[in-house]
Every structure is written in structure tokens, then in C-alpha cells.
Chains A and B, each alone.
Chain A
Amino acid sequence: MDLRYTEADEKFRKELRAWLAAEVPKHPKPPPRHDWPARRVHDTGWQRKLFDAGYAGVNWPKEYGGRGATLTEELVYYEETARAHAPYIGMNFVGIRHGGPTVIAEGSELQKKQHLPRILRGEEVWCQGFSEPSAGSDLAALKTTAVRDGDHYVVNGHKIWTSFGQIADYCELLVRTNPDAPKHRGISWLIMPMDLPGIDVRPLPTLQGESDFAEMFLSDVRIPVEQLVGKEDDGWRITNVTLRFERGTAWAADIIELKEFLSDAARLAKKLTRDDATAWEDKTLRREIGHLAAEADALWALMKWQLSEIQKTGIPGLGGSALKLAFTELKQRVFELGTKLLGRAGLSRDDVASLPAEQILTQFLQSLSLTIAAGSSQVQRNIISERILGMPREPR
């Protein structure tokens, strides 16, 4: 049980901290959420700066533009970027945290060379084409078909919750290549260029009032067979690899940001007046902040535990489900506390009376999506009970 960072980790931390201190203040503030071209410049511009400084893809292989560093250094990266309030990963999310790691794990040499460096340089934005209107928690029920025609797949279907669909260059797309096989065994994982004819992306406003989501209608889209990742009909297994990345270390930055927010909340409570005293003098509120911070500490410890495990095995295990479940539910409770601190100021989405309503409400509302996306909390509980605890499977 060794929680110490090595000298090399600490050296990396020092350099990164100095670089962030110089660069973060120089990067412009995020543009309005509806201004897609400006957001692209903002998000990918930051990614490019990271790349040029050698901080993109900390744990990705060097030959594809990554830093080739250890997972522990990646953890240091998350700690420092959260601490420095560096720009959010934004529309680089699917490529960096999801598609990229899957291509590293399962892609061909050509696919790796073609996509990984461009993702790291901020030249490629990816979106996710997994869910469908009738394939949500039951993702394997997806109906989008891909029929082989010479050296192309001809794809038809309807995808939903396609984050960044409006702006993406590539889509990680799940399709049914074998309608006769059992549902988990007829799925393939394709990289779809978003400029192909037959792709119609329509924005789908979220309860936040923005349109990061989209629906995607695919009509006779011809995707070259070289865009297949892994083997045909092996897409379900590959998807589980991808989802494990999404449920694994991908939360490191978010846990640190949660811890940061709890410190902010304590500072805010010390300034706020409630019933002729500061909010901090309210024992119940103070203890609740302490309680939530304890849980955040436990999550952070669990993250380190799982990371040490991955360092041995190379791939995130099933434990990521517990982490995902615990983190997403904790984040909701933390920002619910944030809304309590705001009181009536929380009826405004814009900052009122110098209270950070915009940040707290955006985070609170966003946290509602987290227990649904990437396998809902209920799906995670099924995974934990069936695959970790060995309880009998749901009828399916």
C-alpha cells in the first residue's frame, strides 16, 4: 500500500503546474454554448496547446503522439488541470476519453496512425453514435443496419443522444452487421466520417436549454470497410472495452473538481448570511459539507486503488462500475447542496448578487444526465450484482 508519487511524478507535476499557471489565464473564456464554430476554436485550441507542450494523451503511446507516461502521471495531470481550473475537455471528450482509447486497444495500425495524432492535436472531433430511440439501456437491441456492398457498408438507421454530432468529424458508430445472430453477436464498431452523404444531424435541446445533443438519421450512408474497428460482429465486446474506459479513470478529473467545489462551497458558506449568522455556523450544513467531502475522499482513494490495479492488468476492470455509480450519485448530492446554498438566487441561471448560480445550476442539471448516460445507475447495479457478486441474470 504505497500512496507516494515518485520523484519523476513530482517533477512532472512541477513542470505542468508552471505551464498551466502561465497558459490557463491566457486562454480565452468559453464562448456562448450555441456558437459552435467558436466553441470548436476554443476547445480544440486548448487541446492543441496541450499537444504542443507535450501534455496531450499523457498515457497514450509515444508513437501516436502521446506522452507515453504512466497512469500515475496521468493522475497527476488530472489533479493539476483541475486545480488550475484549466479549460474543460469539451468537444474533445469522445475522441480523447472514448474513441481514442478504443482505437488504441482494438484499432488497426492504419487507424491508429490516421486518427490518434489528429485527435491529440485537436484536429479531429468525434461524436458517439451508440444509443437509438429503442436501444437505450438495452443498447444491444440496436437496429441500425450495415449491409456489405463490395468494399463498403451501406448503413441505415436512427441514432440519438449523439453529443457534438453537429460539429464532429468522425463518429464511433455501432451497427448491426448480422441480423441473424443473437443480439450481442451481430454488432460491429465503425469509424464513420461525418462528411459522407446521407447523414442528417438534427439538434436535440436538453433540459439545460442547449443543444450539445443531436439525433442522427442515416440513409444509405456508404462507409468504406477499412473503417471497421476490430472484427466484424465483435463490436459488443469492443464496446464494453470502450464503456469501461468511460467508467474507469475517465472520472479522475471530475472527482478532483468535485473536491475543489466542496472547498468553494465551504468558502461560500462562510460569506453567506442566513438567519442572522453565516451559513457556515449552521452545524447541519457544515457537517453535510464534511460528510460529502469524506465521500469524495473515499472515491479518490478508490480511484487510486483501481488505477493501481489497471497498472498491473493494462485494462480497466469491472470495478469501474462501482466508481461510476458512486461518483455520479455523489455529484448530484454535492450540487444539490450547492443549490441549497444559493437559496432563491438559484432560481436564476445567471449569477445574481455575486453568487455563482450559473456554475452551480449548470453542474447540478448536468449531474442529472450522469446517472443516465454511459449505462444508467440501474444498469450499473445490474452489472455489479451479476458480474461482480455473481447473482443470477435478469431475464433477457
Chain B
Amino acid sequence: MDFQLTEDQLALQSGLRSFCDDRYAFDRIAELEKAPIERARWSELAEMGVFSLRLPEAEGGVGLGMAEAVLVFAELARRVVPGPLLWSQLAAALVPGAATGETIVGGLDRWHESNEPLLIEYAEGIDTLLVLTRDGLHEVDARALSGTKVETPLDPLTPLTHVVHLPEWKRVAGPEQARQLRLEGTLLSAALQLGITEMTTELAVDYAKKREQFGRPIASFQAIKHFAADMHVRQEMARAVVYAAGATFDDPSVGDVERAVASARVVAGEAAMKNARTCVQIYGGMGYTWEMPPHYYLKRAFVLDNAFASGDDACETIAERIDA
């Protein structure tokens, strides 16, 4: 057992971090708000291997596994990179052009088919919509989508369209693949939640060290320090469980994949929400302003909390498998 990042994994992580720090720096966020998806930026992400990462080399991919994918997705979330990142990655082997970024693939999880309303993310920027149901995966030409654009989406970087009826679709995969894709989507969402958790911890700690009140940095007050310590603990737990789920996914001999993914989802989901909220609190009044970063993370955390299996779904999955 060597449950640490390998040299290659560290290199992959730091490569992505430099890329995101540069291309998605916070001072460019206003640009992103105006156009959350833009083909040139999407191609760059494709060139970084974000979508083709897990595709075999023979099929033009990078040939890496889920252990690497969770690292990449955590990095993307640290800079709240917008766009249907999850669906385009999941579609890499399924929809032609998804891996290279030529086709921008969005998606809709209809596992719980009676749940309303149908809110489609990035409907105006995508080429293809994948719809996941318990019966399988279905492809929809995004141009055929008709609905009402939501004027004020919660996350300014995740535009939404309210659709009442989905257009004709083409079934592209069966129930087993749908289940598998949902499992992958849940794990990659947890990786994004890990990124939110990490970055909000860093932001809050840095801010607290700089912000002075009563003649000293607020980071010297125990009330703030204990908040920060709890954020750190949630981050360590989330990181360990998400990485473990990635490694278990790649090598199911080490554990129960479904339980590992569900645990990652529960712990990272809660960590993202709690840390983003604590980050707002530590920023104080500034945390309540649009111009400071915390709210973007909090809002993205809400989006992710509603992506693929919910925390409650995941708790049920674990409960079902607890004797296994």
C-alpha cells in the first residue's frame, strides 16, 4: 500500500493548477460571467486532456484512470471553471467529438424521473445533450431544445434553461451503462466538491491572516482559528475519501466501488457546502459582496449538491450496502 500521489500524479496536478491559475484567475471572472462557455477556451481544456483523460490511448485518449481524473476535476473546481465539464468527460467514449472538445456535451440526470423542473445547464452553449434515465442514455440535438432561459441563475457561471418537454432523442446506451455513467458522474462531482473545499479553506485562511481588527489579524482570534481548523479537517477527510474512491474505482479488488463513491459524495458534498459558507463568514461583510470570490464557490457548491446522486441518495446507497 502506498496511498500517496505518484510523481506522475503530482506532475499532472501541478500542470493543471498552473493552467487554471493562469487561464481562470479570479480577475478574469467578469469575462467568464459574460460568456461561461466559449469554444476557444473549451479547446484549451480539451488540449489539456480534461475530456480525453480516461479514453484509451488507442482511441486518441490519455489512457489514465479515475484516480487521475479526480485530481484533474479538483483542480478545475479550485478556479470554478465553468462549462459542462462533467458531461463532456463522461461522454468522451460515447459522443463523437466530445473528447477533442469539438462537440460540447451537456447532460441531464433523470434517474429520478418524476423530479421537476427540468433545468438544463449551459443549454445555449452545448451541441449535444445526453439524458440519463434508468433505461439508458439518450442523445438529444441541443439545437432542438426549446425552453425559457432562466434570467438569474443562482451560480452566475452556470446558466440554466427551463425546459418543459424534451425533444426526440436517440438511445445510445442501455441501463447498465447509464448506471455506470451515473456512478462516474457522482464521483467526479465529489472531486469538484473537493476542489471547492480546498480553495475555500485557502481563501479563508489567507484572508484572515491579512484582515486586521482590534489592531491584530483576525487569524489570531481563537473563534476564527477554530473555524479554520474545522475547514482543514473537512478538507483532509474529503481529500482522502475522494482519492480512495478514485483508486477503488480503478481497482475494485480493494473495496466496494459503489460504497466508496457514495462515501466520497457524502463527505465531499458536505465539506464543500460547509467550507464555502464558513469562507463567506470569515470574509465578513466583504464575503457578502459580489466582488469577492467566496460567493462563487458557495453557489457552485449548490449546483454540485444537485448533480447526479444527491447526498441523501448516497446515504441510502451506503445504508443498503452496510452489511456487505
- Residues of A participating in the B interface, judged by any CB pair closer than 8 Å: 1-6, 9, 72, 75, 262-263, 266-267, 286-291, 293-295, 297-299, 301-302, 304-305, 307-309, 311-312, 319, 322-323, 325-326, 378, 380-382, 384-386, 388-394
Contacts and interface: CB of A to CB of B under 8 A. Distances in A.
Interface of B: 1-6, 9, 67, 205, 208-209, 216-217, 219-220, 222, 224-226, 228-230, 232-233, 236-241, 243-244, 246-248, 251, 253-255, 259-260, 262-263, 265-267, 311-312, 314-319, 322-323
B205 to A, nearest CB: 5
Contacts of A72: 1
A297 B260 contact: yes
8 contacts: A1-B4, A2-B2, A2-B3, A3-B254, A294-B315, A304-B240, A380-B229, A389-B228
B237 A1 contact: no
A2 B248 CA distance: 9
B323 A326 contact: no
B224 to A, nearest CB: 8
A325 B229 contact: yes
A394 B237 CA distance: 26
A382 to B, nearest CB: 7
The 8 closest A-B pairs by CB, nearest first: A290-B315, A385-B225, A294-B266, A298-B241, A381-B229, A290-B318, A301-B244, A301-B240
Contacts of B317: 290
A323 B232 CA distance: 11
Contacts of A384: 228-229, 232-233
B263 A305 contact: no
Contacts of B228: 384-385, 389, 391
Contacts of A386: 225
Nearest to A286: B319
A375 to B, nearest CB: 12
Contact of A3 (B251, B265, B266, B322): B251
Contact of B3 (A289, A291, A308): A308
A294 B323 contact: no
Contacts of B224: 391
A390 B315 contact: no
B243 A308 contact: no
Contact of B240 (A298, A380, A390): A298
Given A286-B315, A297-B244, A385-B228, 19 more contacts: A3-B1, A3-B247, A3-B248, A75-B1, A289-B319, A290-B315, A290-B318, A291-B311, A293-B318, A298-B237, A298-B241, A302-B236, A304-B3, A305-B3, A311-B2, A322-B233, A322-B237, A325-B229, A391-B220
Given A2-B1, A381-B230, A290 B316 contact: yes
Contacts of A9: 1
Contacts of A302: 236-237, 240-241
Contacts of A309: 4
Contacts of B255: 3
A262 B322 contact: yes
B318 A1 contact: no
B251 A4 contact: yes
